[in-house]
Structure 1
Amino acid sequence: MIHTTVFASALTSVPCWLINEGQVSYAVALEVQRRLVQEHRENPDLPDVLILLEHPPVYTLGQGATLDFLKFDPMVTNWEVHRVERGGEVTYHCPGQLVGYPILNLRRYQQDLHWYLRQLEEVLIRALAVWGLQGDRVSGLTGVWVEGRKVAAIGIKVSRWITMHGFALNVCPDLQGFKEIVPCGISDRPVGSLAEFIPGIDLDRVRPVVAASFAEVFGVELIASAWPK
């Protein structure tokens, strides 16, 4: 069981900066990620980073995503839409969803993208277990499901073994925005949230649990840090 007030793994003292933010526009967060990745490529000795935040309503598409999974025309809409360098299809971010952006040098862990994806899933599975929820994997797909409902999406980009983008955990969001897309290109599996299983849950309760789970899975010590200027 993960203790929600402890962010460090007992087995290591490898530092990782933890940046806890509230609601940040997608464009601003993307610019910060890209800048951090560049800094870590230029100086691989910099500590890793985990950013936890929320976004205002926004749709994002992976670099190879098809527009067929949008139920609206992105050229004539009031929705904010971004095509970015991560893998995967279209997804939706909004308040009440905890988004995590790890900036990790995988040379410190394993230089294996499949391993990294499974580790991100494991972070969320262990976090859900704190509330007695069983997080499941689905063979051939990426993400985490609870009772057949997808509660977490994952999409990453890795450049010279430095990671960006990450995971989105539906804690207590308004799920209506997902009706405008085929989430992650999966039409036969519904999207869900933790609030459907744990009434009254909010991000303030989930943030420290996810942080502690991340520290445990990756074997790091999380050190509180400010939003990059």
Structure 2
Amino acid sequence: MRVPRTLSVWKLGTVNYSDALKLQDKLAACRKTNTISETLLSLQHPPTYTLGKRRTDHNLLISEPDLRNIGAELHYTQRGGDITFHGPRQAILYPIMSLREVGLGARSYVEKLESTMIELASVYGVRAQQGQKGETGVWVGNRKIGAIGVRISSGITSHGLAFNIDPDMDYFKHIVPCGIVDKEVTSLKMETNGLSLPTDDVIQDELISCFARVFGFNDVICETRRLEDIEETLN
């Protein structure tokens, strides 16, 4: 008989990046002490650029005053990876998990995140694959459809993946996405040739289902949560 593996999924809607970062830090601390079990945050962000711990500012092609003019924020983080963009119509998953408990190493964990997005793309007839050597994320040919940037501290994961459903692609013109020159960024909408897609909520739910299958969770508990309520619970 298969032992149940439970994943708690918190659907947060649209959350400012700084608030999501603080929440991840708190949940990672709770996971270290076994106060919570494996948890997955599903959300979207307002327009936001983030840089990883390597601080590759040269891949940001716009000044900070101009960033404000286009309604975007800039955040520095402790995740791996290079610069990326987060915004509306992009599905984001932040797993807060113990790699020891789920029986994974760092490399296999990242590969499963890639497989999660590849599986979602396949639902819509889009053939995606892992990047070639030195290319992070998930690609359709030479076009990037999904980004990955993770942090692993004391075996606990945070940050995660971002899958482009139909974001405003103009925002990507202001960066060298993930530090990879001469490669394009794409979206599910573009790769399905304008196919009428379901709502973002439906696609994010499909992404959650793909994640659960790839990581072997057979018991998924989904809740729609408000950030304010979570903060009260954790404080």
TM-score by length of 1: 0.90
Cα deviation per residue 1:15-44 (whole Å; 9 max; x = unaligned)?
Answer: 11111121111011111111000111122x
1:63 aligns with 2:30: no
1:223 aligns with 2:221: yes
**Deviation, structure 1 residue 189:** 1.2
**Deviation, structure 1 residue 147:** 3.2
The answer to whether the 8 Å contact 1:136/1:146 transfers is yes
In structure 1, give the amino acid aligned to 2:64.
P
Q: Which one of the candidate residues 111, 117, 122 is aligned to 1:118?
A: 111
> Is there any run of 5+ residues in structure 2 with no aligned partner, and where?
none
Bigger proportion of residues as helix: 2
Tell which has more relative contact order, 1 or 2 (C-alpha 8 A, sep 6+). 1
> Is there any run of 5+ residues in structure 1 with no aligned partner, and where?
1-9
The answer to whether the 8 Å contact 1:48/1:105 transfers is yes
Q: Partner of 1:184: helix, strand, or coil?
A: helix
Q: Which one of the candidate residues 137, 152, 156 is aligned to 1:162?
A: 156
TM-score by length of 2: 0.88
Cα deviation per residue 1:150-171 (whole Å; 9 max; x = unaligned)?
Answer: 0000000001110000000000
Q: Partner of 2:136: helix, strand, or coil?
A: coil
Residues 165-180 of structure 1: matches in 2 within 5 Å? 165-180=159-174
In structure 2, give the amino acid aligned to 1:155.
G
- Structure 1 runs (4+) greater than 3 angstroms displaced: 74-77
Relative distance call for 1:131 and 1:74 in structure 2 (3 A) is same
The answer to whether the 8 Å contact 2:41/2:93 transfers is yes
Q: Partner of 2:49: helix, strand, or coil?
A: strand
CA RMSD of aligned residues (A): 1.7
In structure 1, give the amino acid aligned to 2:172.
F
**Deviation, structure 1 residue 75:** 6.8
Cα deviation per residue 1:68-88 (whole Å; 9 max; x = unaligned)?
Answer: 101123377413100001011
Whole-Å Cα distance in 1 between the matches of residues 2 and 116 of structure 2? 17
The answer to whether the 8 Å contact 2:136/2:178 transfers is no
